[in-house]
Amino acid sequence: MKFAVLVFPGSNCDIDMYHAIKDELGEEVEYVWHTETDLSSFDGILVPGGFSYGDYLRCGAMANQSNIMAEVKKAADAGKPVLGVCNGFQILTEAGLLPGALLRNKNLKFMCRTIQLKVENNNTLFTNQYEQGQVINIPIAHGEGNYYCDGETLQKLKDNNQIVFTYSGENPNGSLADIAGIINERGNVLGMMPHPERAVDALVGGADGLAVFKSIVKQWRENHVNN
């Protein structure tokens, strides 16, 4: 399986993403600069964290205007897996690929530490390697991760099982309904604030995030064997 890791000016988790795929999973991966105009040769798209365009105007707003985002929308429409982490999640909401928005953390602090996440839905192409209800340890690192959407959208997210991860025990940022990660209706675009790519090696702080990437690959392999 061949992954693209998008790189914007100010991305800073792109190398961790690349490492997770290349070194931990042994799959193919390439960096793709935001000015590129073709993602058709890739099977999965990873939108990494960081501070694209210095978070000017709103986090993710400027990145959403770059060339590559039209291609990300095409990939999402084609049913390819698209994963946005942290700033990547913010970019995907700005792009309208996921509902809602990420607001300033309720306590106004930038928080960088490991928290507990609950897997609310393991029946997705991003979470099939977790148990339903499993609690995992994943780092967060954000100042604007406070998920918000209107009541109607929240009901829809609940009804369709689109809430994939919630904060377990403590809600670090004030997110609505403790939401840490959501998926689109079709099930091929996931956005999450915590960083699974920073938890892929037990030697450096835990490997609970690896299953996100393993899930994507497993699902892809199954689809491509069956077809």
Partner 1 sequence: MKKVKIFVTLRESILDPQGSAVQGSLAKMGYGEVEELRIGKYLELTISDSARDIDTLVKEMCEKVLTNVVIEDYRYEVEEAN
Report the interface residues with partner 1, using CB under 8 A.
57-58, 61, 64-65, 93-94, 99-101, 103-108, 148-150, 174
Do residues 165 and 181 lie in contact, with contact meaning Cβ atoms separated by under 8 Å?
yes
Two tokens, residue 85: 């982490």
Q: Compare residues 54 and 79 and give the one whose CB is closer to partner 1.
A: 54
Q: Least distance to partner 1 from the beta carbon of 173, Å?
A: 10
| Smallest distance, partner 1 to C-beta of residue 144, A | 11
Contact call for residues 52 and 8 (beta carbons, < 8 A): yes
Would you say 138 or 157 has its CB closer to partner 1? 157
58-64-66 Cα angle (round to 5): 125
Q: In sequence order, what DSSP letters do the residues of 191-226 get, joined into one string?
A: EESS-GGGS-BGGGTB-TTHHHHHHHHHHHHHHHHH
Nearest approach, Cβ of 64 to partner 1 (angstroms)? 8
Contacts of 29 (CB under 8 A, 6+ apart): 2, 3, 4, 5, 17, 18, 21, 22
49/100 with CB nearer partner 1: 100
- 80 sits in the region (left: phi over 0; alpha: psi -120 to 50; else beta) called beta
Amino acid letter, residue 142: H
The smaller minimum CB distance to partner 1, of residues 14 and 94, is found at 94
Q: How far is the CB of 106 from partner 1 (least distance, A)?
A: 5
> Least distance from C-beta 149 to partner 1, angstroms?
7
35: amino acid identity, one letter: T
| Residues with catalytic roles | 86, 195, 197
Quick one: 25 or 63, whose CB is closer to partner 1? 63
Q: What angle do CA 4, 120, 51 make, to 5 degrees?
A: 40
